[in-house]
Amino acid sequence: MATAGKVIKCKAAVAWEAGKPLSIEEVEVAPPQAMEVRVKILFTSLCHTDVYFWEAKTPVFPRIFGHEAGGIIESVGEGVTDVAPGDHVLPVFTGECKECAHCRSAESNMCDLLRINTDRGVMIGDGKSRFSINGKPIYHFVGTSTFSEYTVMHVGCVAKINPEAPLDKVCVLSCGISTGLGASINVAKPPKGSTVAIFGLGAVGLAAAEGARIAGASRIIGVDLNPSRFEEARKFGCTEFLNPKDHKKPVQEVLAEMTNGGVDRSVECTGNINAMIQAFECVHDGWGVAVLVGVPHKDAEFKTHPMNFLNERTLKGTFFGNFKPRTDLPNVVELYMKKELEVEKFITHSVPFTEINKAFDLMAKGEGIRCIIRMEN
């Protein structure tokens, strides 16, 4: 392309300070260096992780947030052979170098080189940012920074996908939806006809319910403190609902009574330590499997009686649903293309890039599931 090897000037939503509205600025985006790619972002969406770190959970400012997106490769740096200009890709906040012990393992997706690092605001190759305004660096976020019309990423953080897949739909598969989906399909692995409890019915929890539906679970019990979420959750396969505030007994006891001893599988998607304990203790002895997805407070402690393990309950954790980004995400997109995975129902709002702060307002109000941000009006 004519822009290859040149600095590109484009619009980006810059966070200058924690918790302050993003500002649409003209930024300069440097060409990709060795093992890097520059991507034209066409659609991005807002994930709670962006909001979490925007709300002063990071000391790195000014910064360009964003990590759920879809785009097209504009140019590639030295050594890049897996993708080429024109390829359609999904950026991913955690990468796959394909060379480290984790990437070579069939059991792990936690790449040594490209694992998520929320504190790093620069490229790993040379320790510099590819964004600037009047010579001043603007920092990256989790190696993606998709709230920009163009962004630079390590090649290991982009998954090449079917060019026929609509980017305004499949862009939501690059983070939360795949995390919940994979937690059910790849980790919990509910047998057909089984009973599954989903703790937390936000975007990730709904995706976990969708995964349980796809796997063939016959009962999917949604557990949430907000009953307004229940009707929406029916669209994702939930058959029953439980509000802990409606019961005097611990939730795990209520679920055991509902299911003749406990659910076959549970997936916890809140990050609340009590919900994590409940999710583990509610599974049936002998075969029950609980999967933890939510990220707890750094000082949280998980406490349960050892007999819960000795009675053959299994506790697992997962990161990005155990999907290897470059290897597995193209297959997740194909599930959508074959109409086996419904993505549209996760998308509840859409705004132009110039109104990106509306997406933050919607999330703050708890409205909708995912808001698509259109980079081009």
Task: Give the tens place of pLDDT for each residue, 271-286.
Answer: 999 999 999 999 999 9
| Tokens matching residue 284 | 């049936």
CA gap 51, 346 in Å, rounded: 18
Q: Mean pLDDT over residues 140-160, rounded?
A: 98
Q: For the whole model, what pTM was predicted?
A: 0.95
3-state secondary structure of 265: strand
Task: Note the pLDDT tens digit of each residue in 176-197.
Answer: 999 999 999 999 999 999 999 9
Task: Note the pLDDT tens digit of each residue in 34-50.
Answer: 999 999 999 999 999 99
Res 377: pLDDT? 59
For the annotated catalytic residues, the residue numbers are 47-49, 67-68, 97, 100, 103, 111, 115, 175, 370
| Tokens matching residue 17 | 């300070």
Task: Note the pLDDT tens digit of each residue in 231-274.
Answer: 999 999 999 999 999 999 999 999 999 999 999 999 999 999 99
Question: 141 and 65 in contact (C-beta within 8 Å)?
Answer: yes
Domains along the sequence of the chain with CATH: 8-172+343-374 (3.90.180.10), 179-319 (3.40.50.720)
Helix (H) or strand (E) holding 136: strand 136-138
Question: 267 and 196 in contact (C-beta within 8 Å)?
Answer: yes
